[in-house]
Structure formats: structure tokens, C-alpha cells
Amino acid sequence: MPLHPLEPQRLYRQIAEQMRKGMLSGEFPVGTRLPAERELAIQLGVSRPSVREALIALEVEGWVEVRTGSGVYVLERGPRSPNATVPTAEWGPLELIRARRVIEGETAALAATLAQPEHIAAMQQALLTMQDEAAQGKAPLDGDRDFHSAIVQASGNAVLVETIHSFWDARRGHLFTRLGGYFESPRSWRMALKEHQAILAAIQAQDAVAARAAMHAHMDKSHHRLNASWQKANPA
């Protein structure tokens, strides 16, 4: 038997594949509501966030529809658009935020001890960009990226810089974009801006402990906003 290269799969993709098989086999008929997220997590032996990411991938690819306040329903399968396919290597958004918490907590602490005036100026400009974007009714993603980039640039470590930039490239992926659509609003942008201001204040004070804590708080609140909004759209 000829051997074929094996491709490692993200956990959420393995979950999504099992659920696709269930839809094709009739276990989850077209038009029916899927079991609650908690029930799926128990049946599959995985965490609820992993199930959540799988459901978002299925939504992006047109297998299910999330009806706010009602649940997740199986759609009839039609021709697939190439643009509606989640790349195999795409990270899950909830997992991504947890990784960012670990790495960016330390880059914020480094910035508090290493940042030069030009780095502080870049952070300040990034916050102004965020304010301008939000005032125009746009998600302040450019300013947000510039802010986190300025922080890691202060470390002078090219590996950390490229790592943070790869996180941001993933932030613009299909899954994060779809999940963000459930919670991103002028109110969430204002909250995020305040959290960024707290990070900058700690860096300016050259307080590494406070900078790390402020970054951790920002990531924790971002994670909570994603979870809370998804739970509102998809009640148990």
C-alpha cells in the first residue's frame, strides 16, 4: 500500500471533521439544532473552547448556521466556495489569545525596562490611531497591531518580533474574524482602548510587574469578551 504524507491537524479541526461525518451520515440531520456545546464537549472528551472553535470553523465553511439566541443548526450542503475554507494551519482564536497572554505578558515586562523614547512615541501614536479608527466606526485593528508591535520592538529580539507579528497575522484569519463579529462593537473597542492605556502607563512608569499584569488583564478580558458573546449567540 502506498504511503502518503500525514498532516497534523489542529484539535478543533479534528472535532469539526467528526461533526461533518455525523451530518453526512444523518446523525445530525439538515435543519436540526446541534447538541449543546457542553454536551458535545463531554461526548468528545475535549474542552468547550475547542468545541466552540470547531463550530465556528463549520459556520465559516457553510455546514452550520448560528442563530443568535437559539443555537447552532445544520445547513443543507451545496457547492462550496473556495473562499469559505478554513486553512489547515489556522490557529483557533481562543487558543491564540491564551498563547498571546503568555508571550506578550513578558514582552510588556521587557518593554518596561528596555523601551526607548521612540518606542513610547510609537505606542502613543498607535493609541491615537485606535481612537481615530473607533471614532470612524471602524474596528481599530491597525492601531491595535501597531501598539503591540511597538511593545515587542522595544525588546530588540527579532524572534519575539516575528512571533508577535505571526500572532497578528492569525488575528486576521477566518475564525477570529467570524468570532469577532459576535462581540466587536464601539463599546468593546472603548474597553480595549482603556486596557491598552493601562499597559502604556505601566511601561512608561518602568514597572515591569505592572506592565505584565496589565497585559495579562487585557488578554483575560479579551478572552472573556469572546466567550461571553459566543455564549449569548449560542445558549445552552
Cell 487585557, residue?
218
Q: Please give the CATH number for the structural domain made up of 11-84.
A: 1.10.10.10
Q: Please give the CATH number for the structural domain made up of 93-233.
A: 1.20.120.530
Q: How confident is the model at residue 110, as a pLDDT?
A: 98
Q: How confident is the model at residue 183, as a pLDDT?
A: 62
Question: CB within 8 A of 191, min separation 6: which ones?
Answer: 221, 225
Q: How confident is the model at residue 82, as a pLDDT?
A: 44
How many C-beta atoms surround the C-beta of residue 162 within 10 A?
11
Q: How far is it, in rounded angstroms, from Cα 119 to Cα 87?
A: 34
Q: How confident is the model at residue 113, as a pLDDT?
A: 97
Q: Where in the chain is the domain with CATH 1.20.120.530?
A: 93-233
Q: Where in the chain is the domain with CATH 1.10.10.10?
A: 11-84
Q: How far is it, in rounded angstroms, from Cα 51 to Cα 47?
A: 7
Tens of pLDDT, residue by residue, the chain (236 residues): 454 443 456 888 889 899 999 898 889 999 999 998 889 989 888 888 888 888 888 988 889 988 877 889 999 876 554 446 777 778 888 888 999 999 999 999 999 999 999 999 999 999 999 999 988 888 888 999 999 999 999 999 999 999 999 998 887 777 777 776 666 677 888 899 999 999 999 999 999 999 999 999 999 998 888 776 666 556 55
Grid coordinates representing 66 are 448560528
Q: How confident is the model at residue 104, as a pLDDT?
A: 97
